A and B are shown apart, each in its own frame.
Chain A
Amino acid sequence: RKEVEQDPGPFNVPEGATVAFNCTYSNSASQSFFWYRQDCRKEPKLLMSVYSSGNEDGRFTAQLNRASQYISLLIRDSKLSDSATYLCVVNNAGNMLTFGGGTRLMVKP
């Protein structure tokens, strides 16, 4: 079993739709969690951290469920520019991050 698992997608949604991705992690001792965004043929970039109480940044909401060991990302009012691959990332110990395989989102006009 992979340490961090994501549905690879693609998720095809129309502009304006709400879409949600989940990610599960296997290490119950994992300490911190993040979502990164990666555009096609580009480097990954930090989208947002995921806090225990949940957090929101504009149209993006991240949630953490430690009991079930999953993380979610909700995108409201999808834009064409949201089309990308979203990477779930977990910090188990020290300064090392473990990446999920990514979920591809395609927002259509």
Chain B
Amino acid sequence: DAEITQSPRHKITETGRQVTLACHQTWNHNNMFWYRQDLGHGLRLIHYSYGVQDTNKGEVSDGYSVSRSNTEDLPLTLESAASSQTSVYFCASSSTANTGELFFGEGSRLTVL
């Protein structure tokens, strides 16, 4: 069965460290997204991609970057982790034909100390 997986599921890091969260989908979807979810803010879009070599900034992109070298993967990098980036991160994908249905990964819980 097709799926979308994130790793690591839990990570604790220190302020200033670089962190990369992996996202891999086997749906063959063109569209991929990274969201963060915090109490009081709901899901907020960080970056998104509509295809290979395409990346775009979302609502809360400062301090984050992504790259899309193939269809399956959209890794999210925190260049220099800050305590404000402690959150739960969700990766999602959708097909071009049905953009309303996002398939989410199980989430990555990141703690920055």
Chain A min CB distance to B40 (Å): 7
Q: Which residue of A lies closest to B40 (CB)?
A: A101
Instruction: Give how many B residues have a beta carbon under 8 Å from the other chain's beta carbons.
Output: 23
Q: Residue B99 at the A interface, CB < 8 A?
A: yes
Residues on the B chain within 8 Å of A95, using CB: 31, 48, 50, 94, 96, 99
Chain A min CB distance to B29 (Å): 10
Q: Residue A1 at the B interface, CB < 8 A?
A: no
Chain A min CB distance to B11 (Å): 16
A94 to B49, CA, bound (A): 12
Q: Which of B42, B90, B101 contacts A46 (CB 8 A)?
A: B101
Q: Which of B40, B90, B99 contacts A44 (CB 8 A)?
A: B90
A100 to B31, CA, bound (A): 21
Instruction: Give how many A residues have a beta carbon under 8 Å from the other chain's beta carbons.
Output: 22
Q: Which of A32, A41, A99 contacts B42 (CB 8 A)?
A: A99
Would you call A44 and B43 a contact (CB within 8 A)?
yes
* New A-B pairs, 18, CB < 8 Å, besides A46-B102, A96-B45: A34-B101, A41-B107, A42-B106, A43-B106, A44-B43, A44-B90, A46-B101, A49-B100, A91-B99, A94-B99, A95-B50, A95-B99, A96-B33, A97-B102, A99-B35, A99-B44, A100-B42, A101-B40
